[in-house]
Amino acid sequence: MRASASADRGKRADARRNIEAIVEAATRLLAVDPDASVNEIAKAAGVGRVTLYGHFDSRTALMREVADRAIQQTDQALTGVDLGGDPRDALGRLLEVTWQLTHRFGALVVAASHTLPPEAMQRVHDKPAARVRTLLERGRDAGEFRGDVPIDWQLSVVQAILHGASTAVHRGEITAEAAPVLVRDTVLAALAA
Amino acid sequence: MRASASADRGKRADARRNIEAIVEAATRLLAVDPDASVNEIAKAAGVGRVTLYGHFDSRTALMREVADRAIQQTDQALTGVDLGGDPRDALGRLLEVTWQLTHRFGALVVAASHTLPPEAMQRVHDKPAARVRTLLERGRDAGEFRGDVPIDWQLSVVQAILHGASTAVHRGEITAEAAPVLVRDTVLAALAA
Binary contact (B152, A173; C-beta < 8 A): yes
A16 near A51, Cβ under 8 Å? Answer: no
Collect all residues of chain B within an 8 Å Cβ-Cβ radius of residue A167: 156, 160
Grouping H, G, I as helix, E, B as strand and the rest as coil, residue A47 is coil
Mean pLDDT of chain A, nearest integer: 88
A184 near A96, Cβ under 8 Å? Answer: yes
Residue B136: partners with Cβ closer than 8 Å, 6 or more residues away: B91, B145, B151, B154, B155, B158, B191
In this predicted model, what pLDDT tens digit does every residue of B54-104 receive, in sequence order?
999 999 899 889 888 888 888 889 889 999 999 999 999 999 998 888 877
Binary contact (B152, A174; C-beta < 8 A): yes
The CATH number, out of the four listed (1.25.40, 3.10.180, 1.10.260, 1.10.10), of the domain defined by the range A1-56: 1.10.10
Backbone angles phi, psi at B81, to 5 degrees: -85, 130
The CATH number, out of the four listed (1.20.1050.10, 3.40.50.720, 2.30.30.30, 1.10.357.10), of the domain defined by the range B67-191: 1.10.357.10
Residue B110 has pLDDT above 80, yes or no: no
Grouping H, G, I as helix, E, B as strand and the rest as coil, residue A192 is strand
How many Å apart are CA A86 and CA B55, to the nearest integer? Answer: 63
Q: Quick one: pLDDT band at residue B2, thresholds 50, 70, 90?
A: low
Q: End-to-end alpha-carbon separation of chain A, Å?
A: 72
Nearest chain B alpha carbon to A169: B153
ipTM summary value: 0.74
Per the DSSP assignment, residues forming a β-bridge with B192 are: B145
CA distance A147 to chain B (A): 13
- Checking phi first, is residue B136 left (phi over 0); if not, alpha (psi -120 to 50) or beta? alpha
Binary contact (B168, A152; C-beta < 8 A): yes
* CATH number, domain A66-191: 1.10.357.10
In this predicted model, what pLDDT tens digit does every residue of B171-189 receive, in sequence order?
889 998 999 999 999 999 9
Within 10 angstroms of residue B169's Cβ, the number of other Cβ atoms is 19
How many Å apart are CA B60 and CA A58, to the nearest integer? Answer: 30
In this predicted model, what pLDDT tens digit does every residue of A21-65 receive, in sequence order?
999 999 888 877 878 899 999 999 999 999 999 999 999 899 889
Q: Quick one: pLDDT band at residue B155, thresholds 50, 70, 90?
A: very high
| Structure-derived torsion over alpha carbons of residues B107, B110, B115, B116, reported in degrees to the nearest 10 | 110
Binary contact (A156, B173; C-beta < 8 A): yes
Residue B1 has pLDDT above 60, yes or no: no
In this predicted model, what pLDDT tens digit does every residue of A155-191 receive, in sequence order?
999 999 998 898 888 888 999 899 999 999 999 999 9
Q: Which residue has the higher pLDDT, B42 or A116?
A: B42
Domain boundaries, chain B: 1-56, 67-191
Nearest chain B alpha carbon to A151: B173
Per the DSSP assignment, residues forming a β-bridge with A145 are: A192
- Say what the pLDDT of residue A100 is: 87
